[in-house]
Chains A and B, each alone.
Chain A
Amino acid sequence: MAKLTMVQALNLALRQEMEKDDRVMLLGEDVGVDGGVFRVTDGLIDIFGAERVIDTPLAESGIVGAAIGMAVYGLRPVCEIQFSGFTYFNFHQLESHAARLRHRSQGKYHVPMVLRAPYGGGVRALEHHSESREVYYAHTPGLKMVIPSGPRNSRALMVSAIRDPDPVIFFEPKALYRAFREEVPEEEETLPLGVPVKVREGGDVTLVAYGAMIPLSLDAAEVLKAKHGIEVEVFDLLTLSPLDDTLITESVRKTGHAVVVHEAHRSFGPGAEIMARLMEEAFFYLEAPVKRVTGYDIVYPLFAREKAYMPNAMRIVRAVRETLAS
């Protein structure tokens, strides 16, 4: 097994799916010759040619609209939008068509496309390059919203996303692109969409997170155990929508305490949905109010202040201790 970064693991997933299935196409700005601005598609144009790895004109609506057409005709397009902050240019294509064609054609057509985009903060990026707005997509019926948290699961989820019969929005936490390596098997590996995974066992409190918040949450769990003797059970959502809360509500029935972590804005964010599910499914088991550690409800600041904006392990530790103390 090779130790890969998330960038390399995603590249592996794309390459293997393209080798196996000639319906899989890549399209986006600078994905071909340049290999993508983060190099996720590096070298693929040399293997598969410019017909399958398409450097498009600079037009996100064009990319996604054309991908919908390709998908309806039987291909499996994987679009790269250079940063999630530019997906608004193609939003109407997702909302009006990708998400609805199955329903509108009463099952005749479907849109098996993937839209990949790097998202999230903490990397000293330019304006519009750090936001975490996955909620727009999670809130749109007809779309699936997937966010990996490491090299190995990013590869497995990407394979599943490409094979999924419905449109998948796949946000890649750019802060983790090269943050660490993991063993990624050369043989095929998939993960089911719509199923969270437990990444740490514990009986005192349930912590729910995803994407770039996973390493922070695991760090916080270590500190909580070492310094305070608190056992944290950590869940990685992996898929925000459709959200399956079975494992999480089950865990909260055991721990009686929960904290949700995301860098997305707080109001109407993923935390709000998870807390609502806990109200519905585990209310009588809760021993304290559920806490949220999130980005604030303001425009993401330029990078001089992003440290004060972004959740960190210290904030998570405090939130867990507060919920257990109350």
Chain B
Amino acid sequence: MPKKPLLFTHQLEYLSILDENGNVDQTLEPELPEDFLLKLYRYMLFGRRFDERMLNLQRQGRIGTFPPLTGQEASQLGAAAALKPSDWMAPAFREGLAEIWRGKSMENTILYYAGYDEGGAVEEDRNDLPLAIPVSSQTLHAVGIAMAMKYRQTPDVAMTFFGDGATSEGDFHEALNFAGVFQAPVIFVCQNNQWAISTPLSKQTRSETIAQKAIGYGFPGVQVDGNDILAVYSASAQAIERARSGEGPTLIECLTYRMGLHTTADDPTKYRNNEDVKVWESRDPIRRFQTYLLNKGVLAEEKTQQYEEEIKAEIQGGVERSEKLMNELGAPEDMFAHQYAELSPHLLRQREEMLEQWRLDQKEEKNG
């Protein structure tokens, strides 16, 4: 009955390819086609501008509560961009840009935050789950999808997104454990933006990294600079490759920062000081990628201007189309539309009752 050391040979890596100033580590630089690099850049820019517009719409009362993603463009896009269309994605609620990359329409995004259930619709050719607000709940769905993929022997993988706060929920740990036990082809992408509303990472966990939590569940974890889209993309592509070739799950921790509000209902001055936020401004993911592309000769200054103008017009178009849709949608009976495959006689009667009450309400309101 000796007391002896257990063999424990795990090692964690931290990956960074582009530094804050856009200098690249050429030994790690992924080889990506120029048009793909430009597409990534354009989407990041789109993500930032769309975020700004959504904040504006919220302030004008044209949409409801909205969670901004500014600062996290690289850490969500870099991961989602490594997926194939036939793969599945299970996002949390701050992955608006990853969703749009995967084919969600701007209109649906706006409709959802404007309070229309129609905005939750998942487009025909998109394999993703709708965003999930109950923190961490979606991580298990990705595992189940991946287990089903394995059973069906498809060459696909599932990717799920969640925050640093989400790693405290039981669901997260159950998801990692299932994934490990069943060697499911799933990629866990933690958006470690260091805050869960007012709770800093240091109050969320005693571990030094989130990546290391994978070790306890028997599969690899990696920490990447989440503001470096090349690092996020490379780590994701590698994890996806592992999963596709039957080697099981990976946990990727993207180290980034929530530059803005938790949601438009939040007041961060209550709990964090602006100095910390300032530090992260110099680490902006878009600026460094732009510098890299300019240095590489892939992007020209004029082109960024052109993108800005195109994006502005696209967003304007999206806002207008969604507001037009809002005028057409909103019939109250549609809230009964997707409750069950078939409405029971009782619910059909309730729908009639609701319409009748609504009609009478409208009439009374008009007559004062």
Contacts and interface: CB of A to CB of B under 8 A. Distances in A.
B332 interface: yes
B117 A57 contact: no
Given A55-B203, A297-B346, A305-B330, A85 B335 contact: no
17 contacts: A29-B197, A33-B271, A37-B265, A57-B204, A60-B169, A86-B135, A89-B134, A89-B169, A126-B64, A298-B350, A303-B64, A303-B115, A304-B329, A304-B330, A309-B332, A312-B361, A314-B364
B168 to A, nearest CB: 4
B170 A298 contact: no
Nearest to B334: A305
B354 interface: yes
A308 to B, nearest CB: 4
Contacts of B364: 314
The 3 closest A-B pairs by CB, nearest first: A308-B332, A34-B198, A303-B115
Contacts of B182: none
A302 B112 CA distance: 8
Interface string A128-151: 110000000000000000000000
A35 B270 contact: yes
B196 interface: yes
B69 interface: no
A58 B335 contact: no
Interface in A245-284: 266-267
Contacts of B135: 58, 86
B335 A57 contact: no
Nearest to B263: A126
Contacts of A23: none
B199 A314 contact: no
Contacts of A48: none
A318 B196 contact: no
B115 A124 contact: yes
A89 B196 CA distance: 17
B116 to A, nearest CB: 5
Contacts of B350: 266, 296-298
A65 to B, nearest CB: 10
Nearest to A82: B197
A166 B300 CA distance: 69
B112 to A, nearest CB: 7
A34 B170 contact: no
Contacts of B112: 302
A29 B163 CA distance: 15
Contact of B205 (A57, A85, A302): A57
Contacts of B263: 126
Contacts of A297: 346-347, 350
Interface of A: 29-30, 33-35, 37, 55, 57-62, 85-86, 88-89, 124-129, 266-267, 296-299, 301-306, 308-309, 312, 314-315, 318
A309 B335 contact: yes
B330 A30 contact: no
A321 B178 CA distance: 57
Contacts of B117: 301-302, 304-305
Nearest to B364: A314
A59 B332 contact: no
A315 B361 contact: yes
Nearest to A34: B198
Nearest to B336: A298
Nearest to B164: A58
A58 B204 contact: yes
B11 interface: no
Given A126-B133, A297-B350, A308 B335 contact: yes
A299 B130 CA distance: 16
B210 to A, nearest CB: 13
Interface in B308-354: 326, 329-330, 332, 334-336, 339, 346-347, 350-351, 354
B358 interface: yes
Contacts of B235: none
B40 interface: no
B357 interface: yes
Contacts of A318: 357, 360
Contacts of A62: 168, 170
Contact of A298 (B198, B326, B335): B335
Contacts of A309: 332, 335, 354
Given A304-B330, A305-B117, A296 B354 contact: yes
A219 to B, nearest CB: 13
Given A37-B265, A86-B134, A89-B134, A57 B326 contact: no
